[in-house]
Amino acid sequence: MISDLVDSTTTPSPFEPAPEPARYGAPRRGIDPDRTKSWMRRALPIVAAHKVSFATALSVSFVSLVLQVEIPQLLGTDALNKAVVPFVEQASRPVAERLPASHFEHLLLHYVVLVLILAVGAGICGYISRLFLMTTAYQIEFDLRNIIYSHLSRMSFSYYDRVQSGQLISRANSDIRSVQMYLTFGPSILVQCLVAVVAFGYMLATNVALAFVAMCAMPFIYVAGVRMRAVLFPVSWLIQSRLAEVATIVDENINGVRVVKSFAAEGQQLGQLAGAARRLRWAYVKDADVRAQFTPVVQNLSQLGLALVLLFGGWLVVHDHLQVGTILTFSFWIVMLQMPFQMLGMMIMMGQRASASAHRIYEILDEPAEVADRPGATDLVECRGDVRFRSVTFRYTPDGPPVLEGFDLHLPPGQTVALVGRTGSGKSTVARLIERFYDATEGTVLIDDHDARDLTITSLRAHVGMVLDEPFLFSVSIRDNIAYGRPDADITDIEAAARAAGADGFIRELAHGYDTIVGERGYTLSGGQRQRIAIARALLVNPPILILDDATSAIDVQVEKAIHERLETLMAGRTTLIIAHRLSTIGLADRVVLVEGGRVVADGTHAELLATTPLYAEVLAQAAELEATEAETAEAPGAGEPEAADRRGGRDS
């Protein structure tokens, strides 16, 4: 029950950094942090973590290729030269000297059976190789996604203040896929290119001169490949960058769809997207142009060897230096070499795109978290809720103006303090420093006499509940949203938390009650409904420190009054910081602190500040004007039933 959750006399259980056990194992290796290494060498630890399956895939693939190379040897040098050609040649001999046709038939059947066995063996090896290769590919992709997401989850708020979400989404999706494709299929293509080495060995064993003639085009293919690689890299970087630009525009338009529609700016946004798409199209066309110039050269130079084999090999046959079947064997080998060289061009293209993508991913992974656990940081297991600011100065950017300057404040355990001030005075910043969303530029924030920077971030935040004025809900059920901080909570506790936050009533009137799925960011609910669910979510974890950052700003005055009555009981014995704009909210506090210019300028009870501090009276006057405006709105026709307005999805008046 909620009464059990808020009983401040109950001994808190030991801190658990992972309240819900992970269902999947963490990546065994990460990206090499040495920035001086090439992108490929930095990624090798991830590949090495799956070396068994990867080595199996490549080894079996090589066996399959060797079996395929052996087939032309059987068809040309053996079957044709030893069965077909002798049978044709004996036609000119006397009948008595001829071997029976059945001899040649049995011999030919022998080679056919061998070819079929080799083909079946190559097919089985190909299946096994493909299976292990795809398994490795998706394991590497899984590891890369987890590594990036884990790093992003550790990044400080200051990082997200300056980075576009669309850029991050693009790098965590298309860039990862580019790197994964090259790390797995690149070596596979190289193994397939090794068929050229194996085939060349067979050629040398058959006829040295003809072997060198067949491979004479290879140096030119290498030069063309190197040139293609140099030209493709900047184009590949540009493509990935412009893909991220398109993703950013789409992401912002989806998240800001209400703003776009309210200003009838759909045409403007479509114009921006069209511009980004045109720039992306140009990059893709440039990429296609480069590939159109180089790929035919890389792919078709190998056929020059085929023409030279027919020319030189035919001359050798005419002068009785070579058998006809050997020419056929060489022709088969050269045809087999065409596919690897065609894939070589694709591998060069994949490599340049992967290189560009890897550097974009490393830009994320190489960014250090500004707020991180110090070496030797300890867990905050039992929290009394004593919070103290000592001469704290804070800037959001190193060269920016101070938001807090010489800020001193003490929140004793169990006390409810209202933080009051003008917009921009630094009130919300105080809450963010308690949670260690940011670290103080100067001075110290103490939690139970511990420097907050000496505590592990996870354990600190596990003891602080925060409700913002713009609450975020996930696209899951209301039950799961309330239980977000305690996934194992049973429905009784969830319902009790909802009743304490004044949310149980409207939740039960929804079509599926607590199992109702909320829309994106919870926008299928009104602002007031979202705030009440957010309050219930904070209360369920029973934090010893509770921060309400204008948490009832979107709630109707009548509903707010009922919530305040419950909160007065729930805040007893709990350190509570209320960032207040409404006079009604200030009434919940034992003590009021007035902030101006990033400093505490007055501290006392509401009555004391009202009598002694003109600035406080001025701030309250502004709050009173706001409440009067809201009251007039509430008295307007159709606004007399706030809960009904909630159910219709509108904002609480």
The bridge status of strand 591-596 relative to strand 416-421 is parallel
How crowded is residue 438: how many other Cβ atoms within 10 Å of its Cβ? 19
What pLDDT is stored for residue 479 in this prediction? Answer: 92
User: Do 624 and 540 reside in the same domain of the chain?
Assistant: yes
Structure-model confidence comparison of residues 623 and 266, the more confident one? 266
Domain assignment present for 589: yes
Q: Which helix (H) or strand (E) holds 410?
A: strand 404-411
Domain assignment present for 9: no
**pLDDT averaged over every residue in the chain:** 78
Long-range pairs of 507-513 with CB within 8 A, sequence gap ≥ 24:
507/478, 509/647, 510/478, 510/647, 512/477, 513/478
Residue 137's nearest CA partner among 359, 354, 339 is 354
Residue 274's nearest CA partner among 296, 246, 251 is 246
Q: Give the count of domains, the chain.
A: 2
Q: Which of the 8 DSSP states describes residue 592?
A: E
Residue 564's nearest CA partner among 589, 601, 581 is 589
pLDDT tier, 535 (very low <50, low <70, confident <90, very high otherwise) = confident
DSSP collapsed to 3 states, 429-496: HHHHHHCCCCCCCEEEEEECCEEHHHECHHHHHHCEEEECCCCCCCCCEHHHHHCCCCCCCCHHHHHH
Structure-model confidence comparison of residues 599 and 469, the more confident one? 599
User: Do 143 and 269 reside in the same domain of the chain?
Assistant: yes
Rounded-to-integer distance, Cα 155 and Cα 135, Å = 31
Q: Which of the 8 DSSP states describes residue 78?
A: I
Q: Does residue 445 carry a pLDDT above 90?
A: yes
HSE-CB of 602 using CA atoms within 13 angstroms: 21
What is the tens place of the pLDDT at every residue in 188-227?
888 877 777 777 787 787 788 877 887 777 777 767 767 7
Residue 46's nearest CA partner among 358, 335, 273, 398 is 358
- CATH of residue 321's domain is 1.20.1560.10
**Last residue within a domain, chosen from 365, 382, 403:** 365
Q: Is 431 helix (H, G, I), strand (E, B) or coil?
A: helix
Lowest mean pLDDT of 9-18, 218-227, 304-313, name the range: 9-18
What are 556's two structure tokens?
A: 């109707």
Rounded-to-integer distance, Cα 311 and Cα 216, Å = 14
How crowded is residue 21: how many other Cβ atoms within 10 Å of its Cβ? 5
Domain assignment present for 27: no
The average pLDDT across 554-560 equals 59
- CATH of residue 507's domain is 3.40.50.300
**Containing structural domain, residue 622:** 413-423+464-647
Residues facing residue 447 across a β-bridge: 387, 450
Domain assignment present for 12: no
DSSP 112-169: HHHHHHHHHHHHHHHHHHHHHHHHHHHHHHHHHHHHHHHHHHHS-HHHHHHS-HHHHH
The average pLDDT across 298-327 equals 74
User: Do 609 and 482 reside in the same domain of the chain?
Assistant: yes
What is the tens place of the pLDDT at every residue in 34-63?
888 889 899 999 999 999 999 999 999 888
Rounded-to-integer distance, Cα 549 and Cα 204, Å = 80
Q: Does residue 280 carry a pLDDT above 90?
A: no
pTM, rounded to two decimals: 0.68
Do residues 500 and 536 touch, judged by C-beta distance below 8 A? yes
User: Do 417 and 342 reside in the same domain of the chain?
Assistant: no
User: Do 200 and 300 reside in the same domain of the chain?
Assistant: yes
Q: Which of the 8 DSSP states describes residue 374?
A: P
